Amino acid sequence: MPHYFTLLIYAFAIIFGLLEDRHLNQSHTPDDSNPSLLSNDYVYSGETTYYDPGLSVCSISSGDNELVCGIADSFYDTQTINGALINNKFYDRQISVTGPTDTVIITIGNRCSSCKDDDLDLSRPAFNQIGDPINGHVSINWRSI
């Protein structure tokens, strides 16, 4: 019986070790397997809110009048290379955002931790061009350009 127990402990240690090793060896590299991530042809539909920009996750300051946005962490992080947020294929990329009142060209300059996958968080000046800030949020369509 003690021999069986020892084998069981070894088996558990091996399985746990393999799983842990697999987890530690995963590198966080850009996911280029999904062509829609950077495709100019794919249109995303979501919601947008607005914020007052300041210092971004990339430690770059945005002015009060800049047309910038944050995209969902879950989306932004798929293109972060080796954990360096500024080394990201989305950062500083322009997108076209269409809301209820107009379309505006915006630069991605931040992440949005409260956004769902296809949602955006626009700077106040950008939001003002596509919707009424009294509403707080509006439905949008957006695509990379």
Q: What is the pLDDT of residue 6?
A: 56
How confident is the model over 24-38, as pLDDT tens digits? Answer: 333 333 444 444 566
Q: State the average pLDDT over residues 63-74.
A: 82
Judged by phi (left if over 0) then psi (alpha if -120 to 50, else beta), residue 136 lies in left
**pTM given for the model:** 0.68
**Would you list the domain boundaries of the chain?**
42-144
Q: State the average pLDDT over residues 67-73.
A: 89
The DSSP-derived string for the chain is -HHHHHHHHHHHHHHHHHHHHHHHT------TT-GGGT-SS--EEEEEEEE---B-TTS-B--TT--EEEEEHHHHGGGEETTEEEEESSTT-EEEEE-SS-EEEEEEEEEETT--TT-EEEEHHHHHHHS-TTTS-EEEEEEE-
Q: What is the pLDDT of residue 121?
A: 92
Using CB atoms within 10 Å of the CB of residue 53, give its burial: 0 to 12 exposed, 13 to 18 middle, 19+ buried. Answer: buried
Q: How crowded is residue 69: how many other Cβ atoms within 10 Å of its Cβ?
A: 27
CATH architecture of the domain formed by 42-144: Beta Barrel (2.40)
